[in-house]
Amino acid sequence: MELKRVVVTGLGAVTPVGNTPEEMWENLVAGVSGAGPITHFDTSKCKTQFGCEVKGLNLSDYVDRKEARKMDPYTQFAMVAAEQAVRDCKIDLDTVNKNRIGVIFGVGIGGIKTFEEEVSYYAKNEEAGPKFNPFFIPKMIADIAAGQISIKYGFHGPNYTTTSACASSSHALADAFNLIRLGKADIILGGGAEAAICMCGLGGFNAMHALSTRNEDPEHASRPFSASRDGFIMGEGAGCLVLEELEHAKARGAKIYAEMVGSGMSADAFHITASHPEGLGAKLVMTAALEDAGMNPEDIDYINVHGTSTHVGDISEAKAIKDVFGDSAFKLNISSTKSMTGHLLGAAGAVEAMVSVLSVKNDIVPPTINHEEDDKDEEIDYNLNFTFNKAQKRTVRAALSNTFGFGGHNACVIFKKYDL
C-alpha cells in the first residue's frame, strides 16, 4: 500500500507570547519572554509566584459567552486555536466532506482548574452533601476539547484525545499524520491545549521541585542549557495544525506551509518523572522519526528541543542529539522556545511543531534566550549551536521537534519544505 503525503494547511495558536500564530512567531523571533508574575490567583504562599500566562485574549471573538461558561479554560484555548486554524486553511464548510475530517487533540492534565474549584467547594460544604455543578465532569475530562471542536463544526471523522503528559500533542500530531497517510481521513485538526496555572497545578509541580523559583526575575528564569537553570516555568495555551492529504489540499487550491514527513515514539522505561540520564528514549525517538521520514541526520537543519530548563533533562537531550546526529549535530541549529513560552505541558508539542513549521517556511531559527556566556554547564557541549539569545537566518530544509513527558513518554515529529 502506498502511503499518502500529508501537508500543513492551517495554523492556530494561543500562547503566552501571542494569541495568533503571526503574533507568536514575531515575538519568538524577537526573543520576547512571556513570563511574569501570576495574575490568575494569589501566589503569596507559593514557592513559585510567576508563570507564562496567556494575556489579552478576547474569548468572545471566538466562543459564545454562554457556551464558554460550560468549558474549562483549557477547552476555551483549544476552541480559539481551532477556530483560527479552520479560518486559516479556508476549507469550505458547506461543501467539504465532514465525515472525512477528524480532530485529535493532546491534553496532559485536562480541566484541573475546574476540578480544583468543584472539590474546594465540596470540601468547604461537606455537611451539605455532594453538590456539584452539572458541568463539572464534562468540563474536567481531557477528551472534551476534541469533542467540543467536532461539535462546533460537525466534523465526523476520527475524534479523540492523546494523553502522555508533555508529549501529548506530539502524539496527537503523529496519530493524525498516520491516519491521513493510511487514507482514514482527508483532514485532521491536530493539536493540544493546557491550562494548569492554578493553585493545584503550581503547588503540585512545586512539590516535585520541578519549577523555577527565580521569583525576583521571571523574564530570565527559563534558561535552557545554562548552568544556573533551576526548573521550568509553567505555561498555558493551545496550538492547532490542520493536517491534510496532499491531493485533497491541491484539489482545493490550499496554501501549504510545509509537509509532515515523519514521526517517532518511544519510552524511557526508567523513572516516573526523570528522563533517562543518557537520553536513551530521546535517541530512540529521534532515530525512529528519521527512519519514518526516510531521512538522514544531515537532512535536518533545525531541532526544536524539549529543552525545559531542568538539570537532568537538558543534559540528556543534548547527549542524545550528539549520539544520533554525529558530526551533523554541529552543523544544525538547536533552540528551546520554552525559554520564551514557558512549558505548555500538553500543548507544548503542538505549539513547538508550529514553530518548526514556521521555521521551515521562513528560514529563520528562533533563539534560546537568557543564556550568559559565562553560565556554562560542564556536562553540556557548547560546540552545539543552541541559537543563544538571537534568532539566526539560515535555510531550513527540515525541522525536527522533540517532546518528552513524565512517565518516560517520548514523541518526535518532522516537517520539511513542500516540493512537488
For the chain of 420 residues, list the mean pLDDT of each consecutive stretch of 10. Answer: 96 98 98 98 98 97 96 98 98 98 98 97 93 96 98 98 98 98 98 98 97 98 98 98 98 98 98 93 98 98 97 96 98 98 98 98 98 97 98 98 98 95
Looking at residue 1, its pLDDT comes to 81
**Of 52, 89, 166, 198, which is the active-site residue?**
166
Please name every residue paired with 36 in a beta bridge, in sequence order, or none if there are none: 51
| pTM value > 0.75 | yes
How far is residue 179's CA from residue 122's CA, in Å, rounded to a whole number?
42
**Of 248, 343, 371, 409, which is the active-site residue?**
343
Under DSSP, the state recorded for 408 is: T
Looking at residue 94, its pLDDT comes to 97
**What's the one-letter identity of residue 29?**
V
How far is residue 29's CA from residue 366's CA, in Å, rounded to a whole number?
5
Specify whether 343 is catalytic. yes
Looking at residue 383, its pLDDT comes to 98
Specify whether 271 is catalytic. no
Q: Is the dihedral of CA 214, 229, 74, 27 positive or negative?
A: positive
**What's the one-letter identity of residue 168?**
S
**Of 171, 220, 248, 306, which is the active-site residue?**
306
Architecture per CATH, domain 6-416, reads as 3-Layer(aba) Sandwich (3.40)
Q: Which class for 30: exposed (0-12), middle (13-18), buried (19 or more C-beta within 10 A)?
A: middle
Q: What are the domain boundaries of the chain? A: 6-416
Looking at residue 420, its pLDDT comes to 72
Specify whether 40 is catalytic. no
Q: What share of the chain is helix, strand, coil (3-state, %, to 5)?
A: 40, 20, 40
